[in-house]
Amino acid sequence: MSTLSDSMPKQSLVHVSKLKKSFGALTVLDRIDFDVAQGEVLAIIGPSGSGKSTLLRCINFLETPDEGRIRLAGVEIDAGRHPGQKQILQLRRLAGMVFQSFNLFPHMTVLQNVSLAQKRVLARSQSEADARSMELLERVGLAAKAGEYPYRCSGGQQQRIAIARALALNPKVMLFDEHTSALDPELGMEVLSVSGEISEERMKMNVDIHEMHM
């Protein structure tokens, strides 16, 4: 597995040190080190099974690393010290993640999908959450779909909804886990275009880490 970045980091917003993750006898990540500067876009490239998704999931502790340190925007966790749930939640609030599958709630409207986490995590009122959701849905070109259910949206539209949902929590870091691999080429380009626009808009404050499908 290798990493490519646009430039050498100036000030690390993401710092990963000696990260290790094994599944039984199989070591997937073996003492991984890297830094990503504020405003930098990093692409993680490697063949299937090389640990790309595992690395991204370890950054926000969706997978628990066996060893290593992770620091996001000043919040640092030492995996070897068995961090508590409070520490992990602090870290997760700094990292938005967009998955290969859309993971939208089918029984909720598009607007409800984007607003839910804002109310639960950020304690926003319904009106505040909905107002922010509509801003983001407008940004990804889906304001007209706010009252629809996910099944009434195309795959590309559902992935753009997932991006809006991740952005709604104001993350410092965005993690994209092969977020176009389940889409056909045309829809994939549609989603990549939105991702690129968001990356450019947020370059001054955020890091975007993209996993590139190979």
CATH code of the domain containing 80:
3.40.50.300
Is the domain of 10 the same as that of 75? yes
* Three-state SS annotation for 56-77: HHHHCCCCCCCEEEEEECCEEE
Based on the fold, state whether residues 177 and 73 are members of the same structural domain.
yes
Residue 45 forms part of a structural domain: yes
Q: Are residues 74 and 140 in the same domain?
A: no
Residue 177 shares a structural domain with residue 87: yes
Residue 115 inside a domain? The answer is yes
68 dihedral zone (left: phi>0; alpha: psi -120 to 50; beta): left
Bridge partners (DSSP) of residue 96 are: 174
Residues 68, 126 within the same domain: no
**pLDDT of res. 110:** 97
Kindly state whether residues 88 and 179 are assigned to the same domain.
yes
- pLDDT given at position 180: 54
What's the chain's average pLDDT? 82
What is the DSSP pairing of strand 67-72 with strand 75-78?
antiparallel
201, pLDDT greater than 60: no
State whether 109 and 76 are in the same domain. Answer: no
- How many alpha carbons fall within 13 Å on the CB side of residue 22? 8
Task: Decide: 198 and 163 in contact? Cβ < 8 Å.
Answer: yes
pLDDT at 7: 46
pLDDT band at 9 (very low <50, low <70, confident <90, very high): very low
Confirm whether 189 is domain-assigned.
Answer: no
Phi and psi at residue 200, to the nearest 5°? -65, -40
* 56 domain residue, yes or no: yes
How many domains does one find in the chain? 2
Same domain, 25 and 87: yes
The reply to whether 108 and 72 lie within a common domain is no
Task: Indicate left, alpha or beta for 63 from its phi (over 0: left) and psi (-120 to 50: alpha).
Answer: beta
pLDDT tens track for 42-65: 888 888 888 888 999 999 999 999
Q: What is the dihedral of CA 84, 85, 90, 96, to 10 degrees?
A: 130
Q: Which domain holds residue 149?
A: 103-170
- Give domain status of residue 195, yes or no: no
Q: What whole-number percentage of the chain has pLDDT above 90? A: 43
Q: Residues 141, 78: one domain? A: no
Span 21-42, pLDDT tens digits? 999 999 999 999 999 888 788 8
Tell me, yes or no, whether 72 and 164 share the same domain: no
- Tell me, what's the pLDDT at 50? 83
65 against 176, higher pLDDT = 65
More confident residue, 141 or 18: 18
pTM here?
0.74
Q: Rounded CA gap, 19 and 34, in Å? A: 10
Check whether residue 63 and residue 161 sit in a common domain. no
Nearest-5° angle of CA 43, CA 45, CA 51? 110
